[in-house]
Copies of this chain bind each other. A is one copy, B any other.
Amino acid sequence: MNIIDIIVKKKNKQELTYEEMKYAIDGYIKGNIKDYQMSALLMAITINDMTKEETINLTKIMIESGDIIDLSSISGIKVDKHSTGGVGDKTTIVLIPLVASCGVNVAKMSGRGLGHTGGTIDKLESIEGYQVNLSKEEFISQISNIGCAVISQTNDVAKADKYLYALRDVTGTTESIPLIASSIMSKKIASGNDAIVIDVKVGNGALMKNIKEAQKLSKLMIEIGKAYNKKVVCVLTNMEQPLGQAIGNGLEIIESINTLKNIGPSDLKELIIVLGTIMVSIGKNIDEEEARKLVLYNLENNNAYSKFEQMIEAQHGNINNIKISDKYISIKSNKEGYINKIDAYKLGEIAKILGAGRFNKEDSINYKVGIVLNKKVGDKVLLNEELMKIYVDSTDINISDVINAFDIKDNVVIKQELIIDIIK
């Protein structure tokens, strides 16, 4: 077996065997197969696609490349949650304590920001003292004690994925449905949960630009789940505009807290209720009607927020000290009308420029900066009314075209549905 034959086989649109993919991936981790060979193979896969069998095999190889977390000492059905990433996506921070407050144990490992989207772990680190690195024992013990923990994904889970992900990011091979599916599912399956609810973001601010692609990805992830006897539910949600109003780490924590106190933005609230209902229904093995009532009850009675406080405290965070910059620029509308579009991708990029995200892996994050939207799609806006506030930490940042992130129409605009599809 040699890597050039394997690359040429995929280039010629032929199906790779388990052994061929294993040879390629293991050889790459060991360093026998070079970056330039793996990137050629990844490009051939990105263009020529993979079959369901190839994708399941690749997932298996990636799972086998690292540790597999054993959550069996935690009682009940464990339900994991994943998001394919969007702008202003603070769902995990609200959802995990909410679901735990309903009596479902949640062992959540999250990632850092990449590209134009933020990462849950970066956001949580804007809480002073919050510990994102727990040992396996601490992690399991905290969940057994208080019902949830959100920690940083360790490098030991699906090790091969780390290598491939870093390479894909710099070689134009991120937009491949089988590579995305195997990347997500290898990490989720190795994380040891019984079921996985996946928020598949769709639109301009997401990796999946259209519904058809998102459906294809969802079905593939469900198939991979089946091969491991894991229930997978995919919720396709709109990412044509940012989720909620806040973009940026500290600002998103504040918005998360508001949402946990049931005074957050309506779209975020809707999303956590939908996702929470599915997770609680699976976790408690009850019907969705009953699960939804439980979710609403715990949200309205402050139980979700109390659970959040418990979790932050258990992970040594100080919730009373979230710093936001006191310098902001108010962006006002130059016309009267209705918000037709808000360019989530552009706002994500602007947040990154402000310092809320990273250009390189080594960059440090400024937790105090970001954007707060006053208007969302469908809202009416008057001339000179504020569209958003840009929280800055330095005044020499060039964000002159930020106004173009808003598209304003004269006529009434129908609000977009947040939940596009649910695939089980």
Contact = CB atoms under 8 A, between A and B. Distances in A.
Contacts of A7: 43, 171-172
B40 A37 contact: no
Contacts of A48: 47
A167 interface: yes
Contact of A39 (B6, B8, B39, B175): B39
15 contacts: A4-B172, A7-B43, A7-B172, A11-B47, A11-B175, A34-B170, A35-B35, A36-B39, A36-B170, A37-B170, A37-B172, A40-B40, A40-B43, A43-B47, A44-B172
Given A47-B11, A47-B47, A4 B170 contact: yes
Interface string A39-60: 1111110111000000000000
A165 to B, nearest CB: 13
Interface string A163-187: 0000100111101000000000000
A11 B48 CA distance: 10
A38 interface: yes
Interface of A: 4-8, 11, 34-44, 46-48, 167, 170-173, 175
B37 A37 contact: no
B172 A11 contact: yes
* Most B-side CB within 10 Å, residue of A36, A43, A170: A43
Contact of A172 (B40, B47, B170, B173): B40
A4 B359 CA distance: 14
Contacts of A39: 36-37, 39-40, 43
Nearest to A35: B36
A31 to B, nearest CB: 13
Contacts of A175: 8, 11
Given A36-B38, A44-B47, 16 more contacts: A4-B170, A5-B172, A7-B171, A7-B172, A8-B172, A11-B46, A11-B172, A34-B170, A36-B36, A36-B39, A36-B171, A37-B171, A37-B172, A39-B39, A40-B43, A43-B47
A376 B28 CA distance: 44
* Most B-side CB within 10 Å, residue of A5, A11, A40: A40
Contacts of A8: 172, 175
B47 A171 contact: no
Contacts of A173: 11, 40
A171 B35 contact: no
Contacts of A41: 172
Contacts of A44: 43, 47, 172
A159 to B, nearest CB: 19
Contacts of A42: 40
Q: Which 4 A-B residue pairings sit nearest by Cβ, starting from the closest?
A: A7-B172, A35-B36, A43-B43, A36-B39
* Most B-side CB within 10 Å, residue of A34, A38, A172, A173: A172
A352 B37 CA distance: 24
Given A34-B35, A35-B34, A35-B35, A171 B40 contact: yes
Contacts of A40: 39-40, 42-43, 171-173
B170 A43 contact: no
A388 to B, nearest CB: 27
Nearest to A9: B172
A70 B7 CA distance: 40
A223 to B, nearest CB: 25
Contacts of A170: 4, 34, 36-37
Given A36-B38, A37-B39, A39-B39, A171 B46 contact: no
Nearest to A7: B172
A167 B47 contact: no
Given A11-B172, A47-B11, A47-B47, A36 B4 contact: no
Nearest to A168: B40
A38 B39 CA distance: 9
A78 to B, nearest CB: 37
Nearest to A169: B4
A43 B172 contact: no
